[in-house]
Structure 1
Amino acid sequence: MTVGVEEEFFLVERHTGMPVARGPRVVEAARAVLGDQAQSEFFGAQVEVCTRPTAALAELRSELALLRKVMADAAAGEGCRLVATGTPVVPPGRPPAVTPGGRYERMAARWPSLVGSYDGMVCGCHIHVGVTGRDQALALANHMRPWLPTLQALAANSPFSLGHDTGWASRRFTEHARWPGVGPAPLVDEPGYDRLAEHLVRTGTLLDRRMIYWYARPSEHVPTLEIRLCDVNADLDTVMLLAALVRGLATALLPEVAEGLPAPCPGPRLRAAHRLAARHGLAGDGIDPLSGASDPATTAVERLLVRARPGLTAVGDLELAERLFDRVRRSGGGAALQRASYERRGDLNDVVDDLVRTTLRE
């Protein structure tokens, strides 16, 4: 299976750490090197990079490091800095501006209450794995649903919002959930997906199919399954661990999908599991959405490693995944690192500075 990553970043003012709407100019400068791998995002204070699909995680890491460096250099040329965090640490000095463009402006007009305040700005990391078609993507999404809260806890990297500690490890989770189309994927096959997507667009619930923001969804423009519930992380070790686990789990589940085995149905506990993952990250307990048992989040990651082991072994990533998880577990994850930065002096600028440095550390 190939794997690819999309990362969204904030642009912040060099001295204050406030988000600044210089995204279109930064993307234009970065495209001189990156072409269409550099993209604008919904708000002007955001940018995005997209890797090419690859079968080698070492190649993926090198490409991500290059994309970050080029985008950061372009940001520096516009007097700002590139930051990988799920929500802005420091509030902006003015309401966020939507990036000019037909689709973004139509979304802003349709849902004005979601775009007129600071809380609307969030940055995620989306992981794609190559599939044979939409039918396989949906089947894999159905089978992967119970494991996604564990990935979410591992990726939690947005404890600060509006200039204070929110009490969440992933505040992005609660802010992003205000958009229509965000949430766990329903259990559907390809005909069911087409009927549901058509209904959501026809009734005006969504602007278009690209607004199907399920945590696991088939891509509308490339043959991939997209996992899109993770906060963007400054630490590349965390990003690579997430990519390895997503592909390893998908690879391990492929035989069950091929045999037509029924997908597990976690029921109402799934949303509770996602909420706990966002609340605590790696620092607390979570719920197993299938059994209802409560376990430390790190134990859940260990179970995920076991479940994904056949797939990780098949593609040669098992040792890497185990080593990276050991590093992330010892650090406590992105949310814990942000809080440690703040505790040194009680200064949010320390959090931003550390995030900027880590974003560019290979």
Structure 2
Amino acid sequence: MAPKVIIPSGAVDCEHADLRPRGRGLTVGVEEEFLLVDRCTGMPVARGPLVVEAAHAVLGERAQTEFFDAQVEVCTRPAVELVDVKSELALMRQVMAEAAAGEGCLLIATGTPVIPPGRPQTRTPGERYGRIAARWPSLVGSYEGMVCGCHIHVGVTGRDQALALANHMRPWLPTLQALAANSPFSLGHDTGWASRRSVEHARWPGVGPAPVLDGVGYERLAEHLVRTGALLDRRMIYWHARPSEHVPTLEIRVCDVNADLDVVMLLTALVRGLAGALLPDIAEGQPPRALSDPHLRAAHRVAARQGLAGEGLDFVRGGCVPAWTLVELLLARAAPGLAAAGDLELTEELLARVRSSGGGATRQRAAYERQGRVSDVVSDLARRTLSP
């Protein structure tokens, strides 16, 4: 059973929360998707609805099911202070993990299941999920379709501002993706990718870099995608940066879920800092950097393949440079926004920690290399997921 922890009333998920800018900084919210695995075998287990039901007593609607029933999701309230986001995520992880333990499983934060399931995967019941499964049957029962991300919401004044930020953020999202890479293992072996989740997630309709659009263009394209059957509905617009259909937010969707909460805070700070730094350019009418779609997709693929351990595509100066050079460029670009939010010193400290550890993918591989057992990767992820 989940612990009896008192949470203030009024819990809401990020998709329906008021995330508009408040006070000295842009508000942020974080969604995290987790895998449920058997505590003995490490295989994904279909107990998501049961775990969410147990967690509802404490978390309410902030605990949710996902498409596959071996997954669960949590979502924070909107906040200005990163420490509040971290505290809430830590509590929600604890509650979900204890609810999972009551069902004989572990909660782990990784982009793809480390160990393959012992049986075909099943989807969570529901009318909308049923319609998706009927239209795209290859996703159902497919191990590769079960992926877990971390989605970061930034409050904006409206859809036009969300789209403008998405346009200007495009060159920087591959670097954020490399920082978040935390899924090298799949089907019981090292795939050679730092973020295998990025590869498998791309199989879903609607996933990819956001096109450069204004409000009129967005409405026209969204209507076309649904009308022609390319997507079931607007909620299936899974672009790397997308405006909410419900409230004024921009959602960044390129990140793997990470076991280390400090990495989640780093990613959240950088997203908000970058948004804050870009808003003056947008206000002055500066156009976004011109990038071809194939070039941008290539940058995302390189980031998924190499993460922080290799190189990436430099859109500022051209050519390939070490991934950490791109991280330094991202930090420099986001610095004005980070400073305005009071997050610059914390971000520099968290980046130094990631540089020392190598990031999520490196940590997973290190756990495996100790004794050559993928079960050790699962155990390490379960422990880190609950570390403060």
TM-score by length of 1: 0.99
Asked if 2 retains the 8 angstrom alpha-carbon contact of 1:4 and 1:129, the reply is: yes
Distance, in Å, in 1 between the alignment partners of 2:295 and 2:225 is 25
Alignment of 1:149-168 (within 5 A): 149-168=174-193
Which of 40, 48, 60 does residue 65 from structure 2 map onto? 40
Q: Are 1:338 and 2:364 counterparts?
A: yes
- Alpha-carbon deviation of 1:226? 0.2
Which of 286, 296, 302 does residue 276 from structure 1 map onto? 302
Aligned to 1:347: 373
Asked if 2 retains the 8 angstrom alpha-carbon contact of 1:269 and 1:292, the reply is: no
Letter in 1 for 2:104: G
Asked if 2 retains the 8 angstrom alpha-carbon contact of 1:14 and 1:80, the reply is: yes
**1:97-119 deviations in Å (ceiling 9; x for gaps):** 00000111110111001222211
Distance, in Å, in 1 between the alignment partners of 2:139 and 2:91 is 33
In structure 1, the residue corresponding to 2:238 is in which secondary structure? coil
Aligned to 1:7: 32
Which of 214, 232, 248 does residue 207 from structure 1 map onto? 232
Alignment of 1:46-195 (within 5 A): 46-195=71-220
Alignment of 1:221-232 (within 5 A): 221-232=246-257
Alignment of 1:248-267 (within 5 A): 248-267=273-292
- Alpha-carbon deviation of 1:61? 0.5
Asked if 2 retains the 8 angstrom alpha-carbon contact of 1:269 and 1:289, the reply is: no
Which stretch of structure 1 is more off in the superposition, 256-265 or 298-307? 256-265
Distance, in Å, in 2 between the alignment partners of 1:265 and 1:67 is 40
Aligned to 2:386: 360
- Alpha-carbon deviation of 1:221? 2.0
In structure 2, the residue corresponding to 1:126 is in which secondary structure? strand
Distance, in Å, in 2 between the alignment partners of 1:290 and 1:10 is 37
Instruction: Number of aligned residue pairs: give it.
Output: 362
Distance, in Å, in 2 between the alignment partners of 1:202 and 1:291 is 41
In structure 1, the residue corresponding to 2:130 is in which secondary structure? helix
In structure 2, the residue corresponding to 1:5 is in which secondary structure? strand
Aligned to 2:45: 20
Asked if 2 retains the 8 angstrom alpha-carbon contact of 1:273 and 1:289, the reply is: no
Distance, in Å, in 1 between the alignment partners of 2:184 and 2:178 is 12
Distance, in Å, in 1 between the alignment partners of 2:170 and 2:314 is 11
Q: Root-mean-square deviation (CA), in Å?
A: 0.7
Letter in 2 for 1:121: M
Letter in 2 for 1:317: D
Distance, in Å, in 2 between the alignment partners of 1:116 and 1:64 is 30
Distance, in Å, in 1 between the alignment partners of 2:344 and 2:149 is 25
In structure 2, the residue corresponding to 1:31 is in which secondary structure? helix
Letter in 2 for 1:238: V
Which stretch of structure 1 is more off in the superposition, 255-264 or 26-35? 255-264
- Alpha-carbon deviation of 1:83? 0.4
Letter in 2 for 1:306: A
**1:52-80 deviations in Å (ceiling 9; x for gaps):** 01000011110010010001011011110
Letter in 2 for 1:97: T
Aligned to 1:29: 54
- Alpha-carbon deviation of 1:340? 0.3
Which of 330, 341, 346 does residue 304 from structure 1 map onto? 330
Aligned to 2:348: 322
Question: Any gaps of 5 or more consecutive residues in structure 2?
Answer: 1-25
Asked if 2 retains the 8 angstrom alpha-carbon contact of 1:11 and 1:22, the reply is: yes
Percent of aligned positions with the same letter in both sequences?
76
Distance, in Å, in 1 between the alignment partners of 2:270 and 2:228 is 37
Letter in 2 for 1:248: G
- Alpha-carbon deviation of 1:316? 0.4
**1:116-144 deviations in Å (ceiling 9; x for gaps):** 22111000000000000111000000000
**1:127-174 deviations in Å (ceiling 9; x for gaps):** 000000111000000000000000000000000000110000000011
**Structure 1 residue ranges (4+ consecutive) displaced by more than 3 angstroms after TM superposition:** none
Letter in 1 for 2:134: A
Question: Any gaps of 5 or more consecutive residues in structure 1?
Answer: none
- Alpha-carbon deviation of 1:290? 4.6
